[in-house]
């Protein structure tokens, strides 16, 4: 899902967690938490003009899920998605035109009876996510999942690799950018890279309610320009970075805190009263 800029707000009174190497603008809505690295505002040092990322990667340490104490609402199944992406964050000064979101990661779900599942997925928005069968990629809490996204041909072609480093099981896939019926093509030109936990929607459009995952970590996170070979990492001093957080204004509860430091991304589940907007 794309970050909804219409719901964003910048807050100066609440600081980014101390794990952050530097302050980042914080944007609030009901879906995302985690850092965003902008490509066109922090150009590759060897580029002659604006250029997009062609690679985003990280290793997710899959967190353990538990039932939340004070969820946004009581449900039978609690779900969070953790993913790496390209082109999920829209700014008014970004490259104009239609863009998709190329992303991959996991769905983590916990039912009220204690059943837990972790499922790998990939998705090129506006298409629906594609779940990866456990026979092709089995996952468990504590596993280290390497996620790598690549694009080529101006974002019109993409590839994804997910590897469980604990078992060496690898899933790889390539596809062209989706084309809407009687509509445009949805490229991923790499204007941003993201390392996110999301309260997305099921295919019936019902919004996820998060489980409590405690702390989740992406390590060795980076985004690269293949044309020059340069890379940036979230939390790198001087980088053009944003931070997103999930906050429901109907309950006044903040559900996430995030930080980044030299390529390590930290995502915490919290339930904190917060009415500072």
What is the per-residue pLDDT across 59-69, written as a single tens digit (0 to 9) for each? 999 999 999 99
pLDDT of 96 reads: 61
pLDDT of 17 reads: 32
Q: How confident is the model at residue 207 (pLDDT cuts 50, 70, 90)?
A: confident
Instruction: Identify the weakest region by mean pLDDT among 1-5, 7-11, 12-16, 30-34.
Output: 12-16
Average pLDDT, the chain: 86
d(CA 275, CA 252): 6
- Which residue range forms the structural domain that includes residue 103? 5-273
Q: How confident is the model at residue 155 (pLDDT cuts 50, 70, 90)?
A: very high
CA-to-CA separations, 190 to 62, 94, 158, 272, in angstroms, rounded = 26, 10, 11, 34
What is the CATH classification number for the domain harbouring 128? 2.60.120.700
Q: How confident is the model at residue 238 (pLDDT cuts 50, 70, 90)?
A: low
Tally of structural domains, the chain: 1
Residue 52, token pair as written in the block: 């997009």
% of the chain surpassing 90 pLDDT: 65
pLDDT for 45 beyond 70: no
């Amino acid at each position: 899902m794309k970050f909804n800029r219409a719901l964003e707000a910048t807050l100066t009174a609440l600081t980014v967690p101390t794990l952050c190497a530097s302050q980042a603008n914080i944007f609030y809505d009901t879906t995302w938490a985690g850092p965003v690295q902008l490509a066109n505002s922090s150009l590759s040092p060897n580029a002659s003009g604006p250029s997009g990322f062609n690679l985003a990667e990280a290793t997710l340490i899959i967190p353990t899920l538990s039932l939340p104490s004070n969820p946004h609402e009581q449900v039978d199944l609690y779900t969070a998605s953790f993913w790496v992406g390209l082109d999920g964050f829209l700014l008014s000064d970004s490259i104009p035109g239609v863009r998709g979101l190329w992303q991959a990661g996991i769905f983590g779900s916990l039912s009220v009876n204690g059943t837990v599942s972790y499922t790998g997925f990939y998705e090129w928005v506006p298409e629906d996510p594609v779940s990866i069968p456990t026979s092709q990629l089995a996952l468990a809490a504590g596993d280290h999942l390497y996620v790598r996204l690549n694009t080529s041909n101006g974002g019109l072609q993409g590839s994804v690799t997910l590897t469980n480093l604990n078992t060496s099981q690898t899933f790889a896939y390539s596809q062209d950018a989706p084309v809407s019926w009687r509509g445009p093509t949805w490229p991923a030109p790499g204007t941003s890279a993201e390392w996110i936990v999301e309260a997305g929607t099921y295919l019936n459009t019902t919004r996820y309610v998060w489980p409590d995952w405690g702390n989740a970590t992406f390590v060795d996170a980076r985004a690269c320009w293949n044309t020059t070979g340069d890379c940036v990492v979230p939390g790198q001093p001087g980088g053009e970075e944003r931070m997103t957080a999930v906050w429901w204004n109907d309950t006044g509860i903040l559900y996430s805190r995030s930080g980044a430091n030299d390529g390590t991304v930290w995502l915490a589940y919290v339930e904190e009263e917060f009415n500072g907007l």
